[in-house]
Amino acid sequence: MPTEPSISRDRVFRFGPFELSERQAELRQSGVRIKLQEQPFRVLVELVANSGNLVSREELHKKLWPADTFVDLTSALTQPSASCGRRSTMMPITRTT
């Protein structure tokens, strides 16, 4: 019987003052939890997990959502920065072209 995939081992990413826990679905800045919606959180995990690599919008869409799902990736990419209250801190992490 198929079940939804679970994250048995937590992937925790640390960058600058931030800590991103995939299993706990949390982003923390200097220990303070930053509230993110599900889509922006999923996008941020993929971008951070692929740090240093170019990740296209198409790749994100294919990996995170069914083909027939509309996703506002612009909003999903900018919401983590806005939630941190800092436009420039997250820019190196979520740089787009």
Three-class secondary structure assignment of the chain = CCCCCCCCCCCEEEECCEEEECCCCEEEECCEEECCCHHHHHHHHHHHHCCCCCCCHHHHHHHHCCCCCCCCHHHHHHHHHHHHCCCCCCCCCCCCC
Number of domains in the chain: 1
Quote the pLDDT of residue 5: 46
Considering the domain boundaries, does residue 68 fall inside one?
yes
pLDDT at 28 over 90: yes
- Domain-embedded: residue 75: yes
Tokens of 6: 């679970």
Tell me which residue range forms the domain holding 45. 37-84
Q: Give a yes or no: residue 67 inside a domain.
A: yes
- Amino acid found at 80: P
92 part of a folded domain: no
Instruction: Establish if 5 belongs to a structural domain.
Output: no
Q: Is residue 63 part of a domain?
A: yes
Q: What is the pLDDT of residue 89?
A: 46
pTM for the full predicted model:
0.69
Higher pLDDT among residues 7 and 35, named by residue = 35
Tens-digit pLDDT profile for residues 32-90: 999 888 888 888 899 889 988 998 888 988 888 888 888 777 777 776 655 555 544 44
Asked if residue 94 belongs to a domain, the reply is no
